[in-house]
Amino acid sequence: MKKLQSILIMAIMVLVLVGVAKADWNEGDPHKMHWPQLPDPFGWDVRASEPYVLADDWWCSETGYIKDIHFWGSWKQGYYPPWTTLYGFWISIHENIPASQNPNGNYSQPGTILLNNFYPIEAFIVASPFSGQQGWYDPIYGMWFDQDHFEYFQYNLFLPEEDWVWQEMETIYWLNISAVVNDPFTFPWGWKTTTHDLIFQDTSVWTDQFMYPDPWFPIYDPLIGAPEHLDLAFVITGEPEEPTNLSSRNRMPYSYNQLSYY
C-alpha cells in the first residue's frame, strides 16, 4: 500500500513539474539564440495581423531542436479579447537571406521555409497582461500613435514534436508571425518591440504579401526614421538533441500545415 502511495505521489510530482515546465518564459530561463529580445514596456506594438506579416532574425547559440517559441504583443487602443477574437497565429521559421544577397535592399530577410503552420490560440499559454505606456505603429500606412495603450501579453507556443525545427549553431534564422483575428482592420494585433540595447544585427521586416511574402520592407523607428530600426520581442528555446526522422509521426489535431484562408 505504501509503495502504491509513493508511486502515486511521484506521478503527481512529475505532472506538476511538466505543467511548470510548459509555462511562460521568464528572464533568466534557458534560450537558444544570441540573447533574449525582451519586450520594451514603453516601446511600440507593430501591426502584425493578417494579411500583414512581421519577421525578425536570430543567431542560433546551440545546435538542436527549436521546441518553444515565446513572443510579446498587444492590441491597438488596448481592445484585446473579449472586445475582439484572436483565433491564433501563423508561425513560420525560415533560413536567412543575407543583406549581400537581397535584391530588395541592404538588409537581410527571410528565405527558405523550414516551418509554416497555423496554431489556434488554444495551443498557446498566454501570460497575464503586463503594463507599460506603449505606442502603436502601422508601417504599412506609416501611421503611429504615441501612448496608445497600456497592457501587453506574452504568448508561449510549445511545438508538437513533429513540428520541431532543427537549427545549427552560429546560423541565422527568421521567425515570422501573423495574427488571425476576426476584424484585423478595426482591432489589429501588434508584435511588441524590444529595447534598443537588445537589437540584433539589422532591421526586422514586414510584408503585406501573406501567401507569397516578398518583397520585405524594413521597420524603422517612426519617431526617428532610417537608419534607426526596430527589432521585435521574442525568445527561441529548446533542448540539444540528435536529429531523428519525424516523417512517420501523427500530427497534432491543432496543427494545420500549409492551411490557407485565401
Q: Do residues 39 and 152 touch, judged by C-beta distance below 8 A?
A: yes
Please state, as a whole number, how many other Cβ atoms lie within 10 Å of the Cβ of residue 139: 22
Which is more confidently placed, 45 or 79?
45
Residue of 185 and 158 predicted with greater confidence: 158
Helix runs in the chain, H state only: 2-21
Q: What confidence score (pLDDT) does residue 213 get? A: 63
Of 104 and 78, the structure prediction assigns the larger pLDDT to 78
Q: How confident is the model at residue 74, as a pLDDT?
A: 95
For residue 129, name the pLDDT band (cuts at 50, 70, 90).
Answer: confident
Q: Which of 197, 175, 171, 34 is nearest to 109 (CA)?
A: 175
| Beta strands at 86-97 and 205-207: parallel, antiparallel or unpaired | unpaired
In this predicted model, what pLDDT tens digit does every residue of 211-231 receive, in sequence order?
666 789 999 999 988 888 999
Query: What is the pLDDT confidence band of residue 210, given thresholds at 50, 70 and 90?
Result: low
Mean pLDDT of the chain: 82
pLDDT score of 256 more than 90: no
- Residue 140 vs residues 11, 58, 215, 239: alpha-carbon distances, Å: 51, 23, 13, 37
Give domain limits for the chain: 30-257
Q: Decide if pLDDT at 243 tops 50.
A: no
The continuous run of DSSP H or E covering 236 comes out as: strand 234-237
Exposure b/e, 11-50, CB count within 10 A at least 16 = b: eeeeeeeeeeeeeebeeeeebbbbebbbbbbebbbbbbbb
Residue 189 pLDDT > 50, yes or no? yes
- Rounded-to-integer distance, Cα 207 and Cα 181, Å: 18
Confidence of residue 105 (pLDDT cuts 50, 70, 90): confident
Is the pLDDT at 5 greater than 70? The verdict is no
Q: How far apart are CA 166 and CA 203, in angstroms?
A: 24
193/44 Cα distance (integer angstroms): 6
- Read off the pTM: 0.82
pLDDT exceeds cutoff 60 at 52: yes
Q: How confident is the model at residue 259 (pLDDT cuts 50, 70, 90)?
A: very low
- Residue from 172, 171, 175, 164 nearest 65 by CA: 164
Share of the chain above pLDDT 70, in %: 81
Look at residues 257, 205, 251 and name the one whose alpha carbon lies nearest to residue 231: 205
